[in-house]
Amino acid sequence: MAEALRILEEKVSNSGINEEIVNNTLDYLRKFSKVNPDKAKELVSELMKRFGLARLTAIQVVNVLPQTAEELRILLGSEKREFTDKDIEDMLNLLRNVNQS
């Protein structure tokens, strides 16, 4: 979401497009993006590198920013491996640090 917001804002400001659909999409992305685009990219990379997550899974995790182990485990359901309780806690700590920085 964060990356989509950045791209759409860039396109709108560069082209001057001011259509209702674009504005509605921008409003939605601004409202529901939980992380700025640069931090989102950094988090996706970190989740892929440290925990071996698939890119799409990492993106979903960053979009949702789960706060509990149960929420995170649901998002990790598509991964081909199991994660230890320590992995889950480490991922949650990484995600919690986003809100503090």
The one-digit pLDDT tens for each residue of the chain (101 residues) are 788 887 877 777 666 666 677 778 778 888 888 888 889 999 999 999 999 999 999 999 999 999 999 999 999 999 999 999 999 999 999 999 886 55
- Position 99: which residue type? N
Q: CA quadruple 13, 14, 17, 22: dihedral positive or negative?
A: negative
Structure-derived torsion over alpha carbons of residues 58, 95, 47, 81, reported in degrees to the nearest 10: -70
Confidence (pLDDT) at 44:
96
Confidence (pLDDT) at 15:
67
DSSP state of 78: G
Confidence (pLDDT) at 5:
80
pTM of the model: 0.76
Confidence (pLDDT) at 17:
64
Domain 37-100: state its class. Answer: mainly alpha
Helix ranges (H only) for the chain are 2-15, 20-32, 37-51, 55-64, 69-75, 85-100
Give the integer Cα–Cα distance in Å for 76 and 61: 8
Residues of the chain with CATH 1.10.150.80: 37-100
DSSP state of 53: -
| Length of the chain measured in residues | 101
Confidence (pLDDT) at 56:
96
